[in-house]
Structure 1
Amino acid sequence: MQQQSQGRVYNFNAGPSTLPLPVLQKVQEEFVNFKGMGMSVIEMSHRSAPFESILENAKALLKELLAIPDDYETLFIQGGASLQFTMIPMNFLQPGKTASYALTGQWAERAYVEAQLLGDVNYASCARKGSYSRVPAPDQLNYRASDEYLHITSNNTIYGTQWKEFPQTGNVPLIADMSSDILSQPLDISQFGLIYAGAQKNLGPSGVTVVIIRKDLLQQANSNIPSMLSYRTYAEHNSLFNTPPTFAVYMLGEVLQWVKDQGGAHEMAKRNEQKTALIYDAIDQSEGFFQGRAEPNSRSQMNITFNIEYEQTQKTFLLEAEQAGFIGIAGHRLAGGVRVSTYNAVSYEACQAFSQFMIDFRRKYHR
């Protein structure tokens, strides 16, 4: 098996995913004795001044890197993005009102199904018949001006599609699950009423979910719900109502600092475009040997999905790729095929090596 420096494999897992090596090394150095305190972050009280400093630093870095306006709150919540599927309608879907969901993949479907348990929801679009190979243009969405919100999933990890332009929804709050592409490019936060993202793709380890919510929307949230499911609870207690995932928040801050040191969201976008071009070019120039699943104008910069014409050849590809040190490239069980996840921490060199592997494999097995 080929390995990178320090014996590390080429990690293309869809999530939890690869983290920046400098971050892992720094955390390793601080793990037993954080900043001379004689204990690890995981042993530290979440009520202590040092941890509150860690939390505030993470919030400040998010605000800086994403240019979050002052009229937004940043919250740290447990339960993953999947808990947000419930929290959103519980907080914002009032009795007798409706909300709309753009169904562009499995996670969007799950959000829709959870919302159905709590209120009246509609399809704004559904790409299921096209095997989720595309996302709709903003003007193709069918939602109501009276909707409490419109929900979208900005990047679809399973099918490899991504929104290139977000709808301008006016008075209808736009809510987005950005778990798999947040911080991969600059973003106009003011377009959204609420953004949520599980950390385990671009932000850090699993265990913490970032929620960015407009303050006026927060004030409109339902107050007659359990405390732990209320956004107001987290806002009023600075995400410290109960014990937060302290180590995940700490690592989130370290990853954010790494992104800042690399040049921020603009630099991430540039690198991601360069990285994914290597693999998409290998697909497009393969004379049909590799068959991309996503339509070209919906292709994701985070998750590249494709098939190989013959099933046995595809099995051989996955086996030889793993033997060559490329880990986590088997497609999701719902979609099959091949999936290469190229999040921020995945290096250009890793994508270059995988692209060359694809080229060499095609030369070897193309009939």
Structure 2
Amino acid sequence: MRVINFNPGPAGLPLPALERARDELIDFQGSGMSVMEHSHRGKEYEAVHDETISLLTELLGIPDTHQVLFLTGGASQQFAQVPMNFLHPGTSADYLMTGVWSEKAYDEARIVGQARIAATTVGPDKRYVRVPGQGELQLDPRAAYVHLTSNNTLYGTQWHTWPEVGSVPLIADMSSDFMWKPTDVSRFAFLYAGAQKNLGPSGVLIAVARKDFIAQGRRDIPKIFRYSLHAENNSLYNTPPTLAIYLCRNVLAWMKEQGGLAGMEARNRQKGELLYRSLDANAGFYRAPVERESRSFMNVVFHLPTPELDATFVAEAKKAGMVGLKGHRISGGIRASLYNAVSVDDVRALVSFLEEFARKKG
């Protein structure tokens, strides 16, 4: 029996996507071999590659001005690769600090060139409980780009309104909430997301890049790190993570069957509202620290009265068939990650459990 998976990533995958992979694993479309055994130059794999790009383009409404890239190294590599490409000598980049991952992106940029903090919401306890408002942004109109992290997996905050940055290119790490709802990708010069939260397994990173922006990327860096090179080769310059891309194809096809991104948003908002409503109703026992207007629909964080009760909650939830609820080692507490594959019924089960736990222990 499958457990209810609230892992923060790698996260759960939709069962139909896994079942499709199971059925095709040994013999892919009558070819006599698995999809992971096919050459990335062969027509069998290239059809999967192109279908995955097509599904992304359709679901996101990607305009002709932008292009899909499949990359490796996860978001952590992009923290360095973004400034390597776009932080030209003599320029500076602006970073909006909303959590640990934006801090890491900023640190990598400072190694490559000049970067500045244009906004931060870190508290005196080094934690983040909200995203900044437009009036708090101190942007440089001459910046090479503005970088943000759309969703804070550790502390459970999320951008719900994109900042206005003028004519400066906007870059976003969307690893933990990519495709949770419709997104106007034309607002971004470059966005990137590790697939292992909402779209597939670990091993592949998906980027959506404005073609003219990446064409202006630096040429004095190794070829393999140039986004323009991957764009020119349809992400087939070197061997891509073919199995991970195949599984993303399966997940994207499932998302399309569920009503696309409008369907995902309705489902995800219902899940978040169910869980936050229960936490607020039991506020004497559970503490949800994030300010309401910044609450994440992907990562719901909360604390019980003591660390010992946090540990008991996690252990008893596991016995009840729910895994992945332990908070990050930095932030502690409890974290329920409600990515696309998590169902409304899964969240109802969690709500029932936490309400009963509060009655017993409160």
Report if TM-score (shorter chain) is over 0.5: yes
Out of 96, 99, 106, the position equivalent to 1:105 is 99
Once the two structures are superposed, residues 144-174 of structure 1 have per-residue CA deviations (whole angstroms, 9 ceiling, x without a partner) of 0000000000001111000010012221000
Structure 2 equivalent of residue 42 of structure 1: 36
Out of 162, 165, 178, the position equivalent to 1:182 is 178
The separation in 2 between residues aligned to 1:209 and 1:317, in whole angstroms, is 33
The separation in 1 between residues aligned to 2:7 and 2:343, in whole angstroms, is 13
Kindly report the root-mean-square deviation, in angstroms, between the aligned alpha carbons of the 2 structures. 0.8
Deviation at 1:50? 1.2
- Does 2:285 correspond to 1:286? no
Structure 2 equivalent of residue 336 of structure 1: 332
Provide structure 1 residue ranges, at least 5 long, that are not aligned to the other structure.
Answer: 1-6
Structure 1 equivalent of residue 209 of structure 2: 213
- Does 2:239 correspond to 1:243? yes
The separation in 2 between residues aligned to 1:64 and 1:176, in whole angstroms, is 20
- Tell me the TM-score normalised to structure 2 length: 0.98
Out of 298, 305, 322, the position equivalent to 1:309 is 305
SS of corresponding position for 2:206: strand
Write the letter of the residue equivalent to 2:327: G
Once the two structures are superposed, residues 271-296 of structure 1 have per-residue CA deviations (whole angstroms, 9 ceiling, x without a partner) of 00111111111110003210002111
Q: Size of the alignment, in residue pairs?
A: 360
Out of 61, 84, 101, the position equivalent to 2:55 is 61
Q: Check conservation: 1:218, 1:231, Cα contact below 8 A.
A: yes
Write the letter of the residue equivalent to 2:99: G
The separation in 2 between residues aligned to 1:19 and 1:34, in whole angstroms, is 20
- Tell me the TM-score normalised to structure 1 length: 0.97
Deviation at 1:141? 1.3
Write the letter of the residue equivalent to 1:26: R
Q: Check conservation: 2:12, 2:341, Cα contact below 8 A.
A: yes
Within 5 Å, which residues of 2 pair with 1:1-367? 7-129=1-123, 131-366=127-362
The separation in 1 between residues aligned to 2:262 and 2:73, in whole angstroms, is 30
Q: Check conservation: 2:66, 2:209, Cα contact below 8 A.
A: yes
SS of corresponding position for 1:37: coil
Distance 1:249 1:73, change over 3 A: same
Q: Check conservation: 1:69, 1:190, Cα contact below 8 A.
A: yes
Identity %: 48
Write the letter of the residue equivalent to 2:160: K
SS of corresponding position for 1:75: strand
SS of corresponding position for 1:86: helix
Q: Check conservation: 2:139, 2:165, Cα contact below 8 A.
A: no
Greater than 3 Å deviation, 4+ residue runs:
none
Write the letter of the residue equivalent to 1:238: N
